[in-house]
């Protein structure tokens, strides 16, 4: 129901990455509200993780990863796409969860407009670069506090009787995608059976 607190984010990155699955990412823009369910995440740790930006210590780009949890770490990849991450761990310790794929729920027309496409819903936000474009997230929002009221994540209890800590899906864990180092670590998580996870979907008639 409620917006996730800093306490939620200030934990081990792997735990946060798994618990973010099924939650709703919300962006309140001037043009309207966009809401989408998180279906795929990846955990990036600190010094001990060769696949992480934080592996070699603090730089101009990754400094947000070392700060307090609950902030947005947004960076440009390959010169032209933005990736959206949620900062985790205690202040001073590096860690972030990359949001890799979403299931569009509200503001779908606006997302299509932002993406400048009108294809199937499964291809609107099924990749880290695609979802930032769909939600209107850019590098200028790097460091934004996710406990604020413009960009945040909330739990959506679809069945209140089952309690807040229940899950109506299974989590699959695999190696991370798009990196060369640390691919053996099982830090990618996604909702089993979701048609919205990032992957090349065969074109069918």
Partner DNA sequence: AATCAGATTTCCT
Partner DNA sequence: GGAAATCTGATTA
Q: For binding to DNA (CB under 7 A), which residues are involved?
A: 42, 44, 51-54, 56-57, 59-62, 65, 73, 75-81, 83, 85, 96, 98, 115, 117, 123, 127-131, 176-181, 198, 200, 202-204
CB of 133 to DNA, least distance (A): 8
Write down how long the chain is.
Answer: 205
HEC secondary structure over 152-188: EEECCCCCHHHCCCCCCCCEEEECCCCCCCCCCCCCE
Residue number, 149 or 203, with CB nearest to DNA: 203
CB of 170 to DNA, least distance (A): 24
Q: Taking every pair of C-alpha atoms in the chain, what is the biggest distance, in angstroms?
A: 51
Residue number, 51 or 70, with CB nearest to DNA: 51
Residue number, 33 or 77, with CB nearest to DNA: 77
Torsion of CA 101, 131, 17, 71, to 10 degrees: 180
Pairing of strands 188-191, 171-174: antiparallel
CB of 154 to DNA, least distance (A): 22
CB of 197 to DNA, least distance (A): 11
Residue number, 2 or 186, with CB nearest to DNA: 186
Burial class of 198 by CB neighbour count within 10 A (0 to 12, 13 to 18, 19+): buried
């Amino acid at each position: 129901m409620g917006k996730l607190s800093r306490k939620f984010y200030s934990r081990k990155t792997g735990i946060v990455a798994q618990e973010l699955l099924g939650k709703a990412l919300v962006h309140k823009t001037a043009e309207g509200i966009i809401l989408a369910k998180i279906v795929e995440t990846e955990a990036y740790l600190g010094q001990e993780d060769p696949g992480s930006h934080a592996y070699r210590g603090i730089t101009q780009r990754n400094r947000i990863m070392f700060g307090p949890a609950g902030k947005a770490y947004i960076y440009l990849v390959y010169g032209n796409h933005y990736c959206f991450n949620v900062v985790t761990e205690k202040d001073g310790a590096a860690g972030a969860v990359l949001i890799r794929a979403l299931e569009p729920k509200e503001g779908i027309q606006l997302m299509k407009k932002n993406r400048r496409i009108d294809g199937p819903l499964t291809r609107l936000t099924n990749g880290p670069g695609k979802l930032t474009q769909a939600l209107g997230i850019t590098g200028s929002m790097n460091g934004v506090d996710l406990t604020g009221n413009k960009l945040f994540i909330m739990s959506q209890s679809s069945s209140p009787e089952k309690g807040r800590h229940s899950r109506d899906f299974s989590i699959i864990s695999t190696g991370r995608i798009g990196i060369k180092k640390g691919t053996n670590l099982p830090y990618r998580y996604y909702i089993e059976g979701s048609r919205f996870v990032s992957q090349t979907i065969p074109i069918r008639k």
